[in-house]
């Protein structure tokens, strides 16, 4: 493993740690935004208004069937280069970060939506009918009755989506953001030997990031499981 940290590109492992910190930042921000946007999409998908259901269905089907690389290219080239819309004209790294977040959020939200919609389908129809019977609106029924139960039913699947998001950050370089996978590529390119050690080192880093997610969400799902 000495090759991993003695690579001439790095000084005292700072670049490696910075690369994984960049991956963590990207994952956390994208996860939070995907969680919010995915919840809104799920509400659209089960909305009693046909137009809203149609909008949610079209978006989810397009996002789920479009390669993530193309989504990120659209954000970096289509929005930034063609439309000239930037978060910060003078700081390319800041732009790259937020365009990567935008692309990952747009892509992952569709999977969060479908996972959450599966959870909504586990809620007995009688509870939604009872909510309407006591005068709750659709939004109130979703917020107070349906979504709390739906989230508890899909904690483990949402953890799988989060793990997939963490691994999907490896293509963020397409949007101009240098995270762990990009640094690994640079190390492999500059290294005169020890490619296997470098690869295994970064692979271990991703395992360290993803294993706790599966463990924690699995344990939380068991604790909050709804007995029906």
How do the domains of the chain map onto residue ranges? 2-223
Tokens 């997610």 correspond to 213
What is the pLDDT at residue 193?
62
Poorest-pLDDT segment among 112-126, 141-155, 162-176: 162-176
Domain 2-223 class, CATH top level: mainly alpha
Q: With contact defined as beta carbons under 8 Å apart, do 202 and 181 qualify?
A: yes
Q: 9 pLDDT band (50/70/90 cuts)? A: very low
Pick the closest to residue 15 from 170, 125, 190, 179 (CA basis): 179
Q: With contact defined as beta carbons under 8 Å apart, do 82 and 12 qualify?
A: no
Residues 6+ apart with CB under 8 A from 156: 217, 218, 221
C-alpha to C-alpha distance for 58 and 28, rounded to whole angstroms: 27
C-alpha to C-alpha distance for 192 and 188, rounded to whole angstroms: 8
What is the pLDDT at residue 207?
87
C-alpha to C-alpha distance for 123 and 167, rounded to whole angstroms: 31
């Amino acid at each position: 493993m000495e090759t991993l940290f003695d690579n001439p590109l790095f000084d005292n492992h700072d670049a490696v740690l910075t690369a994984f910190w960049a991956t963590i930042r990207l994952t956390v921000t994208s996860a939070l935004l995907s969680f919010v946007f995915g919840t809104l999409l799920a509400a659209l998908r089960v909305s009693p208004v046909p137009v809203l259901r149609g909008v949610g269905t079209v978006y989810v089907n397009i996002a789920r069937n479009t390669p993530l690389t193309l989504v990120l290219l659209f954000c970096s080239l289509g929005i930034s280069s063609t439309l000239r819309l930037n978060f910060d004209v003078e700081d390319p790294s800041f732009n790259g970060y937020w365009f990567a977040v935008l692309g990952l959020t747009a892509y992952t939200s569709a999977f969060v939506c479908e996972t959450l919609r599966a959870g909504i389908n586990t809620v007995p129809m009688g509870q939604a009918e009872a909510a309407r019977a006591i005068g709750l609106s659709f939004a109130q029924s979703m917020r107070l009755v349906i979504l709390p139960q739906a989230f508890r039913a899909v904690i483990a699947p949402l953890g799988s989506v989060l793990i997939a998001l963490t691994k999907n950050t490896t293509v963020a370089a397409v949007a101009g953001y240098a995270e762990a996978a990009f640094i690994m590529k640079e190390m492999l390119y500059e290294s005169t030997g020890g490619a296997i050690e470098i690869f295994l080192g970064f692979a271990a880093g991703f395992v360290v990031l993803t294993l706790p997610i599966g463990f924690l969400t699995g344990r939380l799902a068991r604790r909050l499981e709804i007995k029906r």
